[in-house]
Amino acid sequence: MPMRCISSRPILPARIRNLVPHTKLGAKFIMNHVYVAGSINMAVIATAARYPKMGETVPGREIFFSPGGKGANQAVSAAKLGAPTTLIDCLGEDAFGRELSSFLSSQGIDLTNVRYSMETHTGTAVITVVESDNAIVVIPGTNALVNGADVARPALVEGDVLVSQFEIPASTVYAFFSRAGSIGATTILNLAPAIDFDRSLLHLVDIVVLNETELGFMTRRSLHESDPESFFIEAARTLQMRDGQTVCVTLGRRGAVALNRDGVIAIPGRAVQPVDTTGAGDCFVGALAAQIAAGAPIGAALENANIAASLCVQRMGARAHRCQQPLRLPSHEYKSRRQSVRLNRLLCAAL
């Protein structure tokens, strides 16, 4: 039976008791806070039959304007799974900035730590989509202005989950994660986009998430999606900087593989028909953060994040606020009615 989105509004913690585990405090559901320090962009998405060659112009099919940015996407995904979510960034005082602020507020995301600047324009991403794949050019704009003072402002407590990526300055990410150790917060770093950075930052990270392309860049290895799983495991091991750290490599339709102190965690892929892969990795990271904030063990958190990402790729664009059409996994993926309901709730996290 086709699944349908049960709500276009953020799912409150009380409505996802069967999706995430109870905490050690017993039956009373408690969700810790997720803080995302990351980019907010307006995505301009164009679809075409093929990518243009250098100097060539090709006709497009459609164009979409969609709220995006890795920070915003990850925050929306976490909020959709019921995690109290705060976004830390900078917006321009322009039309895109106003539109993005309105959208994120409608998702129940706390924007008290988003400041506004007239120094430059709001971040923008120009995305070309061809046959469900994408090529992206990001113009940072105000995202490049986020600094240590911005990430020092929120009052953090034990159990909070801190999430970041590299669409804001790496020095700001370092300052943000430096706050985690003394308070017992969990840090999640998405190594995207792949850049050269001071590897000492990895010592501050509890969970590292990256795809095979980013892993190849970080480890200076030639890696391909079709490579044996052992290749990714060997490469990921070089990024582990301390005991207890988890390194997760997302592999698209093949699922994901992760390393932690207990060994290798293999997350199988799911057979779905992708429409647009834009934002799938961000959906994964946001869903992972929400699961960790709910107290889920790392294996279950990664599995649920992978489900959310597999649902995310079945619709166009990175915007995560409404269901435009029924999306579903193949019927053989459902093991029970309870799992169907669980996946439906994850669907709303991905949309």
User: pLDDT of 31-53, one tens digit each?
Assistant: 899 999 999 999 898 999 999 99
pLDDT tens-digit map of 136-181: 888 999 999 999 999 999 999 999 999 999 999 999 999 999 999 9
Residue labelled with tokens 């990430």: 151
The encoded tokens of residue 253 equal: 């339709």
For residue 250, pLDDT over 50 is answered with yes
Provide the pLDDT for residue 82. Answer: 86
Averaged pLDDT, 6-33: 42
The rounded percent of the chain whose pLDDT value lies above 70 is 77
E strands of 53-205, at which residues?
A: 60-68, 85-92, 114-117, 123-130, 133-139, 161-164, 186-190
Range in 31-35, 91-95, 277-281, 342-346 the model is least confident about: 342-346
Alpha-carbon distance 248 to 305, whole Å? 11
Band of pLDDT at residue 278, cut at 50, 70 and 90: low
Average pLDDT, the chain: 81
Report which of residues 347 and 41 the model is more confident about: 41
pLDDT reported for residue 255: 82
* CA nearest neighbour of 42 among 64, 68, 75, 62: 68
Residue 210: what pLDDT? 95
Top-confidence residue, 311 or 176: 176
User: Hey, which residues are catalytic here?
Assistant: 282
